[in-house]
Amino acid sequence: MHGSTRRTAARSTASLAIASSVLGLALTIGSCSGGAEPFDRAAMLGSLGQTVILPTYRDFAARAGELEAATSTLCGGPSEATLASARDVYAATREVYAQAEAFAIGPHTDSPRRLSPKVNFWPVREDLVEEQIAATTSIDLDATSSSARGLPAIGYLLFGLDGGAAEDAAIVAALEGRRCEYLRALTAYLKARADEYVLAWSPDGDDFAGQLAEGRGTFASVQASSGVVFEQLVFTAENVRELKIGKPFGKRDGGVLQLGEQEDRLGGRSLADAHANVRSVQNVWTGRYADVQGIGVRDWLLARRPALEPEVAAAFDAVHAAFDALGDQTLDQAIAEDPEGVEAVYQAVKDLQTVLAVDVAQALAVTVTFNPTDGD
């Protein structure tokens, strides 16, 4: 009996040893089998940094420089023509900046740079801007409230006298003395921050592009940085839908419109900025910016589940179609005159968010998570 038990136990041990050997052999064979190479996420991230992120911020810095020059010209010779010119450059600057929304990570949100509240903290507090203009102390924008600096404050000075009701002539007439001094300071400050974005992302500076691609520094790994990039796509879509369209449209307030809660109500670009935000998502998705094609998240999906790609493309098309259907209207005008059209934009962006957050997230094995707590 005792011997039988020993033999059984010996057989069990031998079986286990054989099983583990077979598994080990299988793993060895598998490792040598040379299957298809997995998708290179580091290459995608590197490409996004060089093809989309850095060029966008360089364009933003260039536009910010033009805005600084245009406001200098405006203040040097205030007229409706120089005001119109400055407004055009302002719109162009916003357009580019809005296309950086899908990679508003790293220096945008993280200390010590944390550039977001220095560039685009909205909506503007008009009373705080007027306080700064009325003050007699020297202008120190680092110490100024985020609600009184950046693009929203510039927009207020270019568009917003008397709550946006003033004639252009009145705005031009008011642009003198401390008001112009503050406008110049704002645009110079904006240009410096735009340069900071470029420096933060470029290899000569903090090299966030390198950190992102190699999964180092701020990013724990390539897996983590891939997740951050993807999550920002989803977040941007959600933010456009919920905050930039839905909130002014009254979605969060029982249908009561919140028109003051727009990103750029005075400049009339709230809708255009929201559309540019979606283009930003698409730039990262396709890996393409300014006609330069790189590797995007779409390539990652094509490597993982190509059948899903047309659905995402259709979702982007639907969003563009919905925005285009509103034409050149401001968000105020669209809400007043074409609420169905605004609703269509809202729903189209929601559909895009859903396909990204649910289906694409599964296909790419990216858990949309923000907190590395334990799991089991």
Partner 1 sequence: MRATTDARSPRTSLARVRDHLLVPVPATSLAIWRIAFGLLLAGNVLRYWQAGWIHDLFVAPRVMFPHWGFAWLPRPEATGVAILFGAVFVGGLAIAHGRHLRLAAAFTFVPFTWLELLDRSTYLNHYYLVSLVLALLTVLPSASRGEVPHERAVPRVTLFALRAQVGLVYFFAGVAKLRADWLFEAEPLTTWLVRHTDAPLVGPLLDDRWVAFAASWAGMLFDLSVVFLLLARRTRRFAFAVVVLFHLATAALFTLGLFPWLMMVNATLFFAPHWPSRARDTIAKRRARASDAPSGSDLASESIVPSGAPAPMGPRSNRVRLAVPLLGILAAHFALQLALPFRQHLYAGDPLWHEQGFRFSWCVMLIEKTATLDLRVVDAEGRETIVHPREELTPLQLRMVPTQPDLVLAYAHHVRDRFEAEGHGEVRVYADGFASLHGRPRQRLVDPNVDLARERDGLLDKPWIVPLRGHEVVAGR
Q: Residues interacting with partner 1, by CB under 8 A?
A: 6, 9-10, 12-13, 16-17, 20, 23, 26-27, 30-31, 33, 35-39, 41-42, 215, 221-223, 238, 242, 246, 251-255, 304-305, 307, 353-355, 357-359, 361-363, 365-376
- The residue (of 23 and 135) whose beta carbon lies closer to partner 1 is 23
Question: What is the smallest separation between the CB atom of 358 and partner 1, expressed in angstroms?
Answer: 4
CB-CB contact of 353 with 234 (8 Å): yes
Question: What is the smallest separation between the CB atom of 314 and partner 1, expressed in angstroms?
Answer: 15
Classify 286 as helix, strand or coil.
helix
- The residue (of 135 and 365) whose beta carbon lies closer to partner 1 is 365
- The residue (of 14 and 290) whose beta carbon lies closer to partner 1 is 14
Phi-psi region of 330 (alpha: psi -120 to 50; beta: other; left: phi over 0): beta
- The residue (of 195 and 359) whose beta carbon lies closer to partner 1 is 359
CA distance 329 to 33: 59
CB-CB contact of 351 with 360 (8 Å): no
Phi-psi region of 79 (alpha: psi -120 to 50; beta: other; left: phi over 0): beta
Q: Tell me which residue of 367, 11, 65 sits closest to 192, measured CA to CA.
A: 65
CB-CB contact of 226 with 214 (8 Å): no
- The residue (of 266 and 355) whose beta carbon lies closer to partner 1 is 355
CA distance 148 to 151: 9
Question: What is the smallest separation between the CB atom of 71 and partner 1, expressed in angstroms?
Answer: 36
Question: What is the smallest separation between the CB atom of 115 and partner 1, expressed in angstroms?
Answer: 22
Close Cβ partners of 260 (under 8 Å, ≥ 6 residues apart): 123, 248
Question: What is the smallest separation between the CB atom of 322 and partner 1, expressed in angstroms?
Answer: 18
Q: Which helix (H) or strand (E) holds 293?
A: strand 292-293
Question: What is the smallest separation between the CB atom of 33 and partner 1, expressed in angstroms?
Answer: 7
C-alpha count within 13 angstroms, C-beta hemisphere, residue 371: 3
CB atoms within 10 A of CB 259: 15
Q: Which helix (H) or strand (E) holds 374?
A: none
Question: What is the smallest separation between the CB atom of 117 and partner 1, expressed in angstroms?
Answer: 19
Phi and psi dihedrals of 17, rounded to 5? -65, -40
- The residue (of 3 and 254) whose beta carbon lies closer to partner 1 is 254
- The residue (of 41 and 87) whose beta carbon lies closer to partner 1 is 41
- The residue whose two tokens read 């396909």 is 355
Classify 358 as helix, strand or coil.
helix
- The residue (of 139 and 240) whose beta carbon lies closer to partner 1 is 240
Q: What is the total residue count of the chain? A: 376
CB-CB contact of 267 with 159 (8 Å): yes
Question: What is the smallest separation between the CB atom of 217 and partner 1, expressed in angstroms?
Answer: 16
Four-point Cα dihedral 19, 25, 28, 32, nearest 10 = -140
Question: What is the smallest separation between the CB atom of 137 and partner 1, expressed in angstroms?
Answer: 37
Widest Cα–Cα separation across the chain: 109
- The residue (of 165 and 256) whose beta carbon lies closer to partner 1 is 256
Which amino acid, 375? G
Q: Which helix (H) or strand (E) holds 288?
A: strand 288-289
- The residue (of 36 and 165) whose beta carbon lies closer to partner 1 is 36
Question: What is the smallest separation between the CB atom of 11 and partner 1, expressed in angstroms?
Answer: 10
